[in-house]
Chain A
Amino acid sequence: MSRVGVFVCHCGENIARTVDCAAVAETLKDHPGVAFATDYKYMCSDPGQTLIKKAIEEHNLTGVVVAACSPHMHEKTFRRASDQAGLNKYMCEMANIREHCSWIHEDRGEATAKAIDIARTIVEKVKHNQPLESIRIPVTKRALVIGAGIAGIQAALDIADGGHQVILIEKDASIGGHMSQLSETFPTLDCSQCILTPRMVEAYQHPNITLRTWSEVEKVSGYIGNFTVKIRKKARSVDEDLCNGCGDCYAACPAKKIPSEFEAGLGKRTAISVPFPQAVPNIPVLDRVNCTLFKGRRKGLAKDACGKCKEACLKGAIDYDTEDTFIEEEVGAIAVATGFQLYSIGREQPEGLKGYGEYGYGEVPDVIDGLQFERLASASGPTAGAIRRPSDGKEPRTVVFVHCVGSRDPDKGIKYCSKICCMYNAKHAMLYKHKVHGGRAVAFYMDIRAAGKGYDEFSRRAIEEDGAEYIRGRVSKIYRDGDIVKVWGYDTLSGEQVVIDADMVVLATAMRPQPGIQELAQILSVSYDEHGFINEAHPKLRPVETNTAGVFVAGACQAPRDIPDSVAMASAAAAKVMGLFSADELEREPAVAIVDESTCIGCMRCQSACAYGAIEQRDICTVDGHVCGHVAYVNPGVCQGCGTCQAVCLSKSVELQTFTDEQVYSEINALSAWE
């Protein structure tokens, strides 16, 4: 006979406001199999847990039901408490009467009745729970970091400094990410390259870090502590071991007019090139789309149309016939740090987003985005740091900065605030005023959001010391009028329309996650939000974990982030990885499927339903060794506990522990007692 204890939590006022907790406990007391029921203000507090532990001992309970918040919140807490009181922790379950009841209903009578139902359902389940032992699995103490911008580099360095091997992979030719493109950083005006490049070199030279650039994640299988990652090394056409980074190949390359991605289209590059002079590793990549030789091959020319780089390379490092290769790595944890891209205001937009017709769809040459301004202001940029407008190279005397282009604009498909634009616009206005004496910087803003250490002081400095003109209002139209760019706006503080004859306009376009993030998220089995940002496991308490154990997240792939935030998240993710690596074995919930060999008919339907390849066929032998049939066997190390096998089993021989048929049917049956 079961002796279940029911513990109803008030959660302060959170539950008690709409649910009569005492009535729930009182009703459950009379439920068959319930030996004890009570309510308490905060069940998760120390006295609350003590109450549970004492009840387990005093009433000799065989099961515990805590009617409180979501099991995602406190299941671990209460299972630990049960365990400490000597009750197998898998005999403890939670009834969610907060998120699924008190918070979503107003009528006290309805909410109380529902809470009773929920608690009763879980009591019926617990009556059929079995004491189980956690599964112990070994941990591979190597980490994979995806994306080598500042967040990825920081995470890799922290894990590597902690004494663990790290594989740092980057889809571009060089590590460094967007931070390497920036001129100076707010709020200190530190030179971005000066603080970043030493870290890049450190990551490159670190004995514990294996760097894989020009590579992407192809496939991930396994689970926490034991992932197998298939990495695609894209064909570089340059042998990484032979190349000494001399640069003779790109000097010889005849295709010199390709817009440079690093220069945000403002500079040119060759077909074989490194993205920027400080690239790490300093090994070029041959861009096969734009290369004369490969263009010729695609046309089907009998003879190669070019070959100048190969001729120029004295080390013989160039090979036009390399192909993508694949490497498999075993890792125990994965950190995702794929960063962001900027919203393009052009005509072509991905599904759900609209362009900016009123801003000329980005077709006015002197209307640029924030990243392009960074390149103009950068000492290593196409103008060597001189502010020159793209159309004719003249120094702009009036520059308009427009905040919130795309951001906070539900009509255009992006509802969120991009967080960094207020600050970098202030920085841009400041840099412009420092470089162009007597120039006029005008910024149109919605609100100034300068929350951060030294941030508000910084944006005030742009206005008060450097004389940037801030106009509160939106820009309605931008168009080219001869030599100038006309900006029509509205000043909401004075209530007047403003028209500015500008020489150049800088749009602070929204931050969006990198293209391809959804595909990567699917490979990793992590969830993402409606915008494509990776979801954290809990918005407050688990900000760098994802819903998939062993996969962590850092930087702007989770939400718009500035550099200090990204670095902090990266270090936090690294700390989580090292916490995971601190034990040789992991405990996993025993939510795995088990086959009853005596009834299994060996149809192997479960095997074809299993997404993890956890099910094998096992021979059944007679005493003298003849194979007389076969049955299914579930490898508990590989099984993830989805239960799909159980739903397809014809002979009902496979059973998912913690969610057995008996448990589920008891829950369904309990619901028949509805009033």
Chain B
Amino acid sequence: MTDFEPRITAFVCNWCTYTGADLAGTSRLHMASNVRIIRLPCTGRIDPLFIVKAFERGADGVIVSGCHPADCHYTSGNYHARRRFAVFHDFMEFLGVDPRRMTFSWVSASEGAKWRDVVNEAVSNVRELGPFDAYRALTPEEPAAEPDDPSAAATTAPAEVKAS
């Protein structure tokens, strides 16, 4: 548990947060190395299933970050994202994913330091929660955990996962 290094996938927009992360680099702001960025044009492009997929493929946490409200490069993509994730947030909780594993934030192109803080905070939150293996426990490929095996479901919180 002590040597657990969280794996965090970040979905960020190209114009604000990706550029903000670039600025963090240009400013040599050191931060935890646990985050892998996937660049998208806009947070509006982010299908909630991307997040589900990331968890399914072994991420322990997810960051979604884009332009501040009213600052979207594409006028309103971030508003679509905000509404979408407000609903999605509750859905993930219903699925049994601790909402603290997901960080939603606005980081503008000029906020390199904020990006560092978002990264470090997300990493420390997820570190505290421990590895996320609820999905892996249900994956049929894994020999130890058959989807119908009640013991696998019992070790992990969300029995509802199968229902979805």
* Residues of A bordering B, CB below 8 Å: 70-72, 96, 98-101, 103-107, 110-111, 113-114, 117-118, 121, 522, 525, 527, 529-530, 535, 547-548, 591, 609, 611-612, 640-644, 646-648, 656, 659, 661, 664-665, 667-669, 671-672, 674
Contacts and interface: CB of A to CB of B under 8 A. Distances in A.
A277 to B, nearest CB: 41
A121 B7 CA distance: 14
Interface string B69-98: 011111111001000100000000000000
B94 to A, nearest CB: 20
Contacts of B9: 668, 671
A671 B51 CA distance: 13
Contacts of B45: 642-644, 646-647, 656, 659
Interface residues of B, number: 48
Contacts of B70: 522
Given A525-B73, A659-B45, A668-B9, A644 B38 contact: no
Contact of B57 (A72, A646, A669): A669
B22 A104 contact: no
B33 A110 contact: yes
B47 A646 contact: yes
A647 B44 contact: yes
A609 B9 CA distance: 26
Interface in B88-111: 108-110
B130 interface: no
Contacts of B57: 668-669, 671-672
B73 A99 contact: no
Contact of B30 (A106, A113, A114, A656): A106
Nearest to B110: A529
A547 B109 contact: yes
Given A522-B70, A591-B41, A643-B40, 4 more contacts: A98-B25, A107-B33, A668-B54, A674-B36
A380 B72 CA distance: 46
Interface string B115-143: 01000000000000000000000000000
A661 B16 contact: no
Given A98-B25, A111-B33, A525-B73, A647 B109 contact: no
A103 B29 CA distance: 8
Given A100-B25, A104-B24, A104-B30, A547 B84 contact: no
Contacts of B31: 104-105
Contacts of A111: 33
Contacts of A106: 30
B79 to A, nearest CB: 9
B59 interface: yes
A350 B109 CA distance: 23
A474 to B, nearest CB: 28
Given A103-B28, A647-B45, A522 B53 contact: no
Contacts of A665: 50, 53
Contacts of A107: 33
Interface in B29-70: 29-31, 33, 36-42, 44-47, 50, 53-54, 57-59, 67, 70
B153 interface: no
Contact of B80 (A547, A644, A668): A644
